[in-house]
A = this chain, B = another copy of it.
Amino acid sequence: MPTDFQQLAERLPEWVEASRAYALKGRVASYIPGLAHAPQQALGITLCHLSGASVTAGDCGMRFTLQSISKVFTLLLALMDRGEQAVFEKVGMEPTGDDFNSMLKLELVEPGKPFNPLINAGAIVISSLIEGRTPEEKADRIVRFVRELAGGDTSIGINADVYRSEASTANRNRSLAYFLKDNNVLDEEVEPTLDVYFRQCSIETTCSQVARMALVLANGGIDPATGRELVPRRYVRIAKSFMVTCGMYNASGEFAIQVGIPAKSGVSGGILALVPGELGIGLIGPALNEKGNSIAGVHLLQQLSERYDWSIF
């Protein structure tokens, strides 16, 4: 049963306001100023339909950085740059059950490679696989790829303040990267690799831009506006699989049950989600639940999924 987009569009503001109340129970990430200043009660969403229609509600003008959402795009780009075999020699395909920045399995489970590309250790390795001679060149390729997915929106760029803050507060990520280096999983140098990683996390967008990117994935990698294949379908499938099994940190299993659509969250409170063959979704809600996902955002997606029967399960 396809989503009644007309009805959804009409009722969306009401859904948003109902979910916004949950933001009070969450906490805005505070480890860098660029995140800490986000308004606790903000909640905004854009849904783009394959037909070209789109709808937006709540605080949609708000700009936010992709943070971990970027891991989906670097995974896709690394697959396109290097191919499946090269990528999966360096990262695994399994959920971990541990924190996103945990080092436990790197030490405990042979051969010490990251379990998947959506935890920090895996994403750092993925960043090292992006083609480019310098961190700037690699980051530039990522930005251009993201812009392309967003329909060629050149207003998307790196937030320099956030980037600098990320780089200066990243000792846990440095620790992860040197561990990977020691395990011979990371072939590139640590600091240039982390530089790419911090830049990708700092790409600044809006809900509607993220929704537009998600729409391409919902369409199997083909830009619905131009009909051009931006990502091979096989790689979109891989990304969607990871989004379902590991996209929402250690609440991915619960999200699969309660919402049931591929999604990836970031510490900024952003969520990229999609209803395959139908909708791309971009969402921002800075207040996070204890698992690190937008508390009001998850509630909103759950309400919509139940109402419009979006679950792929």
The DSSP consensus for interface residues of chain A is helix
Of A64-72, A101-109, A139-147, A199-207, the stretch lying at the interface with chain B is A101-109
Beyond the given pairs A97-B105, A237-B260, A242-B253, 10 more chain A to chain B contacts, judged by CB atoms under 8 angstroms and listed by A's residue number, are: A92-B253, A93-B256, A103-B107, A171-B182, A175-B179, A238-B313, A241-B253, A241-B257, A241-B313, A244-B313
Taking CB atoms, residues of chain B closer than 8 Å to A92 are 253-254
- Lowest 8 A-B CB distances belong to which pairs? A175-B178, A95-B95, A171-B182, A96-B97, A94-B253, A175-B179, A174-B178, A93-B253
A182-B175 contact in complex given A241-B257, A260-B237, C-beta closer than 8 Å:
yes
- What string of 1s and 0s marks CB contacts (under 8 Å) between A229-266 and chain B? 00000000110111011100011111011001010000
Assess whether A63 is interfacial by the CB under 8 Å rule: no
Taking CB atoms, residues of chain B closer than 8 Å to A164 are none
**Complex: chain B residue closest to A98, CB-CB:** B97
A254 CA / B256 CA spacing, docked (Å): 17
11 contacts across the A-B interface (CB closer than 8 A):
A92-B253, A93-B253, A94-B252, A94-B254, A95-B96, A95-B245, A97-B105, A175-B182, A245-B252, A246-B253, A276-B313
Q: Are B95 and A252 in contact (CB under 8 A)?
A: yes
Q: Are B240 and A313 in contact (CB under 8 A)?
A: yes
Q: Contact partner of A254 among B93, B107, B178, B240, CB < 8 A?
A: B93
Q: Are B262 and A241 in contact (CB under 8 A)?
A: no
Q: How many subunits of this chain does the assembly comprise?
A: 4
Size of the chain A interface, CB-CB below 8 angstroms: 47
A250 CA / B103 CA spacing, docked (Å): 18
Assess whether A116 is interfacial by the CB under 8 Å rule: yes
- What string of 1s and 0s marks CB contacts (under 8 Å) between A87-125 and chain B? 000001111111000111101100000011000000000
Assess whether A16 is interfacial by the CB under 8 Å rule: no
Measured between C-beta atoms, what is the minimum distance from A276 to chain B in Å?
8
Taking CB atoms, residues of chain B closer than 8 Å to A244 are 244-245, 256, 313
**Complex: chain B residue closest to A171, CB-CB:** B182
